């Protein structure tokens, strides 16, 4: 691929359009507040001080048709004390109009594809890029399942089991496993690969335990861009590995765990001028904010009391926290939901920091059955810490046994998820038991990935019969007293 040569001539043909579009975007260091341009000569993933970066954006063109929204948008950059919910109704109207289109590919080429995506529908709050650069499957538009004890009628008796398990009356699960490649990663990746397109990157790369790589491989293949994925050998689910290979990614297995792969890929990308698309890349976080916007829209802009989610690399904790803050600042919602980030006991560095009042940043050698959150040194620690501290959030831990028990409940309800996602239910149940979440509060939980990842973990094998002879007698014997 010849990747040693400088590989980032910003897309030559559109140089002006790009710089115009992105002059309104800056990168701010989460640690020392240093400010950098959104696009520099080289992509930048860290501040000179080593801190991670956060995207700050202004509405690019305050003329029509968004004039009425500009006032509200300016609230995003106003100091905390100056917030007034100015233009919430205008924003709600805009997003609700866009959500009227069915979320499928249009047959007519002039239909507005960004409106159909559950990410680009909120594009003013995601990334101001010219639409012709957008690389979209489209993604998002995932289900929000009412599973609370009060929310389920008889046609949802199975789903109600989840509400009973958590002891919650009004409980919703948003299933990000319904994204095109089977996880929430597609929301960040549509933005990340759009940036790669805009920048004229010649190759993209990531470290992954499976979902990130499958997602990047798919979006890179759509754009026709070489993709390299670094996977911790022997720690990646077979189906996920198959996805990356099938989409044509160069797949490099390394000796070590996800944290080792993450360190390596950052080094490789800086050395070889490959565009890095882990959530260290702040534009990925901007895409993942859409999980927050979309669930608020699905609740008709009535903010829940709590948002519960699994926490590994802390990308979603950062992204959804940021989305809620922006939605509140814009007047889209009337109050900020509290966030509960749930870690596995064997991979709990964020929990350890939280219980010590964030006095220091902890690291662990991660070990949990939930491979997606088996992360000992989370990249987005500082972003997520800010979210938890500013929003009165909590961090909880759950054991592998608790994760598997919760997964069985979600699976048997007919919804199903991979193990890390089940930490959401295990965590919600524990927080209710501890009296932190009240039984009558409105709670949204995020399921981050599809059941087919780590599909061996926690699946009841006894329901499978041995092969039987193909006869009615054979079937009777096999079913025994089940009928
Ligand atoms: N849930 C799923 C299904 C994941 O795949 C991941 C991360 C997480 C949760 C944790 O995300 O950053 O929001 O805490 N998966 C990475 C990967 C490691 O390579 O696919 P976070």
CB 244 less than 6 A from any atom of ligand 1: no
Write the CA distances from 299 to 39, 89, 116, 138, 436, integer angstroms.
Answer: 36, 15, 18, 21, 23
pLDDT (0 to 100) of residue 332: 94
pLDDT (0 to 100) of residue 364: 97
Query: How far, in Å, is the centroid of ligand 1 from the Cα of 410?
Result: 19
* Nearest atom in ligand 1 to 210's CA: 20
Ligand 1: residue of 52, 178, 185 to mutate (most ligand atoms within 8 A of CB) is 185
pLDDT (0 to 100) of residue 54: 96
Decide if 295 contacts 434 (C-beta within 8 A): no
Query: How far, in Å, is the centroid of ligand 1 from the Cα of 48?
Result: 27
* Nearest atom in ligand 1 to 209's CA: 19
Query: How far, in Å, is the centroid of ligand 1 from the Cα of 209?
Result: 8
Return the structure tokens found at 428. Answer: 């919600």
Query: How far, in Å, is the centroid of ligand 1 from the Cα of 220?
Result: 19
**Using CA positions, which residue lies closest to atom 19 of ligand 1?**
208
pLDDT (0 to 100) of residue 103: 66
Query: How far, in Å, is the centroid of ligand 1 from the Cα of 354?
Result: 20
Ligand 1: residue of 235, 372, 418 to mutate (most ligand atoms within 8 A of CB) is 372
CB 211 less than 6 A from any atom of ligand 1: yes
pLDDT digits (tens, 9 = 90+) for 33-44: 999 999 888 899
* Nearest atom in ligand 1 to 313's CA: 12
Nearest-angstrom CA–CA distance, 481 and 476: 9
Nearest-angstrom CA–CA distance, 34 and 54: 11
β 53-57/25-29 pair status: antiparallel
CB 257 less than 6 A from any atom of ligand 1: no
CA dihedral 10, 130, 196, 29 (to 10 degrees): 90
Low-confidence spans in the chain with pLDDT less than 50: 1-7, 13, 60-76, 78-86
pLDDT digits (tens, 9 = 90+) for 336-375: 999 999 999 999 999 999 999 999 999 999 999 999 999 9
Q: How far apart are the first and last CA of the chain?
A: 60
pLDDT (0 to 100) of residue 463: 63
Return the structure tokens found at 241. Answer: 């590995």
pLDDT (0 to 100) of residue 452: 86
Nearest-angstrom CA–CA distance, 463 and 79: 58
Q: Per-residue DSSP letters for 362-427?
A: -------S-GGG--SS-TTHHHHHHHHHHTT-EEEEE-HHHHHHHHHHHHHTT----HHHHHHHHH
Who contacts 163 (Cβ-Cβ below 8 Å, separation ≥6)?
Answer: 147, 148, 149, 150, 151, 152, 169, 171
Ligand 1: residue of 263, 291, 312, 453 to mutate (most ligand atoms within 8 A of CB) is 312
Burial (CB count within 10 angstroms: exposed 0-12, middle 13-18, buried 19+), residue 267: exposed
With H, G, I as helix, E, B as strand and everything else as coil, classify residue 174: strand
* Nearest atom in ligand 1 to 421's CA: 1
Q: The dihedral of CA 168, 340, 310, 443: what is its sign?
A: positive
CB 373 less than 6 A from any atom of ligand 1: yes
Write the CA distances from 366 to 312, 347, 371, 385, 453, integer angstroms.
Answer: 10, 4, 10, 19, 19
Matching residue, tokens 């691929």: 1
Nearest-angstrom CA–CA distance, 307 and 318: 12
């Amino acid at each position: 691929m010849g990747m040693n040569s400088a590989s980032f001539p910003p897309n030559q043909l559109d140089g002006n359009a790009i710089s115009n579009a992105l002059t309104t975007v800056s990168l701010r260091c989460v640690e020392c507040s240093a400010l950098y341009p959104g696009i520099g000569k080289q992509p930048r993933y860290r501040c000179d001080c080593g801190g991670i970066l956060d995207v700050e954006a202004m509405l690019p063109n305050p003329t029509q048709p968004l004039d009425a929204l500009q006032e509200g948008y300016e609230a995003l950059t106003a100091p905390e004390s100056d917030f007034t919910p100015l233009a919430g109704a205008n924003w709600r109207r805009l997003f609700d109009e866009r959500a009227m289109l069915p979320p499928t590919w249009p047959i007519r080429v002039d239909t507005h594809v960004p409106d159909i995506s559950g990410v680009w529908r909120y594009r003013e709050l995601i990334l101001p890029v010219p639409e012709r650069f957008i690389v979209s499957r489209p993604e998002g538009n995932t289900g929000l399942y009412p599973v609370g004890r009060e929310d389920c009628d008889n046609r949802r008796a199975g789903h109600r089991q989840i509400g009973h398990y958590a002891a919650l009356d009004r409980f919703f699960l948003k299933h990000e496993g319904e994204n095109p490649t089977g996880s929430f990663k597609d929301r960040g990746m549509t933005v990340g690969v759009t940036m790669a397109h805009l920048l004229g990157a010649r190759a993209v790369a990531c470290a992954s335990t499976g979902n990130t790589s499958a997602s990047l491989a798919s979006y890179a293949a759509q754009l026709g861009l070489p993709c390299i994925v670094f996977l911790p050998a022997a720690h990646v689910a077979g189906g996920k590995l198959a996805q990356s290979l099938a989409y044509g990614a160069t797949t490099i297995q390394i000796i070590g765990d996800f944290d080792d792969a993450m360190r390596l890929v950052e080094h490789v990308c800086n050395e070889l001028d490959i565009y890095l698309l882990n959530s260290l890349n702040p534009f990925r976080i901007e895409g993942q904010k859409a999980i927050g916007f979309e669930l608020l829209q699905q609740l008709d802009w009535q903010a829940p009391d709590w948002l519960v989610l699994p926490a590994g690399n802390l990308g979603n904790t950062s992204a959804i926290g940021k989305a809620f803050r922006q939605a509140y600042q814009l007047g889209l919602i009337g109050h900020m939901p509290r966030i509960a980030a749930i870690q596995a006991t064997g991979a709990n560095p964020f929990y350890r920091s939280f219980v010590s009042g964030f006095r220091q940043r902890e690291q662990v050698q991660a070990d949990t059955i939930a491979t997606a959150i088996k992360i000992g040194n989370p990249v987005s620690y500082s972003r997520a810490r800010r979210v938890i501290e500013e929003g009165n959030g909590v961090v909880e831990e759950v054991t592998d046994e608790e994760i598997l028990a919760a997964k069985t409940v979600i699976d048997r309800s007919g919804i199903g998820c991979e193990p890390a996602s089940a930490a959401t239910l295990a965590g919600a149940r524990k927080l209710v038991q501890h009296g932190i979440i009240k039984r009558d509060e409105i709670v949204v939980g995020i399921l981050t990935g599809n059941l087919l990842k780590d599909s061996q973990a926690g699946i009841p094998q006894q329901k499978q019969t041995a092969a039987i002879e193909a006869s009615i007698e054979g079937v009777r014997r096999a079913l025994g007293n089940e009928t």
